[in-house]
Structure 1
């Protein structure tokens, strides 16, 4: 039984505000069912901290709080900023440290590190806003090296926001220019057609330092070219768990996921996305604060091994408190 005062942080000044609000609501409902004292803290899109609808200072909001459940997503949360604040207050929180979160949120830096560990990833290139005048040359180089289909996305973001599939060099240049109007840097990847897999891990569960849940296969509806933001929250995507990958593929996915979690020095839990093609496993990205809504994959994977949602939430709080 948790006797500590829990603060649930949700909302936030990122593009994933609405998803975070849903995650936070689900967490609060779980705490209420467990009769755990909590307070609902909403961070507005402007970065103001609200308690019971009133703007308060961070000091006032965190006064008397023993542990924080981070129900935030995207910038300010997965980039390590809010963790930095909580670390300064010496308040335990769910998820990874500020440094590890910032590292994992940067897709290019993560790929650089994991590539050196021998982990396969689609070919990629980072493009910065200051390179706008060189796009013709850049897209020619990418087309020659990557082939004819590409994924473009912000270097740092989550929930597949602003991710696009591009099918020609001309569209690539146009798409890069459009995305660089919104972000300082983006990443272009070769698009690898294959089966989409995601693997969730949880620390200190069932006497294991790092427990891997059954592999999940993601099958978006045909109208979506891949598992993008719209597919994630359409309610039409098939989440197959346990998946039908071969024993060899499942073993590889599990081992690679555990290696990624440890290499990036992540804490408590994470979920990593892959493409599986021709018995090869390609790393896409890692999520340090997976969604916990009704549509979210992490709680669905946990449920397949008998870990109900409410118990997942209390496990995260108990291990964050230690």
Structure 2
């Protein structure tokens, strides 16, 4: 079988999740069926330059606690307009210019300037098909406040929250702190539009709140404050159906140390957590969270993929958040859930590429 489809793997980016995007891209490059797909790696530097990178999965692998970054190698990649042929223009350091035909783009970007609908909008303007959710679903799910409001409106139980803007915090720290304290302790403070647990803190007492808010505001001008939800952390992977009906995986469970939480280090650098796939649930509980996942996916207008994170409480499931570009390294929860359901990592990558090629936006 000859290679007939050129896939641009787009990764890196300007967000604080740059390094994890690189690790994910390496996993995908390694898993792609090279008899069916040609891969063109395009890395976005932390400054925002689009560069052509070597097709070498090992260059992007997680090495102990060392995280890869996109180097500026002097190349510059330009995307077309919709009126131009579907090809990238590559400017090389020696002044030469080449072009690369594109069939589909696989944006493996987490956080702002990638997972939030901005790259999706750029690709739609360029007239290039791409993998994953569209502009609206991406932007909506990225904003935890807006997503919770939409999910609640759709009839799903969501974890309680308060939203604080930077200007509100700067104007009245004491008043905001008093209103937040109504939730009780501990609290979790998060940037509203970031992922991979960047800028997230657990706050056990009032004296810790100021530092946690300041840290979250380093990542976003809007912060979410949530009380601890007593329950098990259970997640389900959702995949767009070929017939339009969302497909859901067997659920997975995150088990962390009793006094900890699933932070960045636990997710990517190793910690006390365990990822259990499938989660030890009853048949009714498994059916319930899979239904929640499908309903949440449809509520945000999802396409391609999403991971729906829930808490299993004494009163049933509560939706915490929806991730439209979840962690996608080979050892992340999303692909592990699908592996437990019977779809391997390479099969999952191929299915997402084909769903993107068939998408009507």
- Counterpart in 2 of 1:135? 173
| CA distance in structure 2 between the aligned counterparts of 1:293 and 1:88, rounded to whole angstroms | 28
- Counterpart in 2 of 1:230? 265
Question: How far did residue 101 of structure 1 move?
Answer: 0.4
Contact 1:194 1:275 in 2 (8 A): yes
What number of residue pairs does the alignment pair up? 319
Q: Deviations over 1:240-279 (max 9, x none)?
A: 1111123332222111111010010010111011111113
Provide the aligned C-alpha RMSD in A: 1.9
- Counterpart in 1 of 2:39? 38
Q: Deviations over 1:168-194 (max 9, x none)?
A: 123223422343354211111111132
Q: Does 1:295 align with 2:331?
A: yes
Residues 1:82 and 1:208: Cα distance change in structure 2 (over 3 Å) = closer
Q: Does 1:209 align with 2:245?
A: yes
Contact 1:249 1:279 in 2 (8 A): no
| CA distance in structure 2 between the aligned counterparts of 1:231 and 1:279, rounded to whole angstroms | 28
| CA distance in structure 1 between the aligned counterparts of 2:160 and 2:36, rounded to whole angstroms | 49
- Counterpart in 1 of 2:79? 58
TM-score (structure 1 length as normaliser)? 0.93
Q: SS at 2:37's partner residue?
A: coil
| CA distance in structure 1 between the aligned counterparts of 2:145 and 2:132, rounded to whole angstroms | 21
Residues 1:101 and 1:188: Cα distance change in structure 2 (over 3 Å) = same
Residues 1:34 and 1:274: Cα distance change in structure 2 (over 3 Å) = farther
Which has the higher mean CA deviation after the structures are superposed, 226-235 or 307-316?
A: 226-235
Contact 2:104 2:353 in 1 (8 A): yes
Q: Deviations over 1:122-157 (max 9, x none)?
A: 22111111112212111112212x112111000101
Question: How far did residue 35 of structure 1 move?
Answer: 4.8
Contact 1:94 1:268 in 2 (8 A): yes
Q: SS at 1:204's partner residue?
A: coil
Q: SS at 1:153's partner residue?
A: strand
User: Among 80, 92, 110, which residue is 2:117 paired with?
Assistant: 80
Q: Does 1:220 align with 2:220?
A: no
- Counterpart in 2 of 1:90? 127
Q: Give 1 or 2: higher helix fraction.
A: 1
Contact 2:246 2:297 in 1 (8 A): no
Q: Runs ≥4 in structure 1, deviation > 3 angstroms?
A: 32-35
Residues 1:216 and 1:182: Cα distance change in structure 2 (over 3 Å) = closer
Q: SS at 2:172's partner residue?
A: helix
- Counterpart in 2 of 1:190? 227
| CA distance in structure 2 between the aligned counterparts of 1:93 and 1:272, rounded to whole angstroms | 21
User: Among 139, 164, 173, which residue is 2:210 paired with?
Assistant: 173
TM-score (structure 2 length as normaliser)? 0.83
- Counterpart in 1 of 2:282? 246
Q: Deviations over 1:8-55 (max 9, x none)?
A: 101111111111101111111222544521211001111100014412
Contact 2:160 2:227 in 1 (8 A): yes
| CA distance in structure 2 between the aligned counterparts of 1:24 and 1:140, rounded to whole angstroms | 43
Gaps of 5+ in 2: 54-72, 81-88, 91-98
Question: How far did residue 225 of structure 1 move?
Answer: 1.1
Question: How far did residue 280 of structure 1 move?
Answer: 2.2
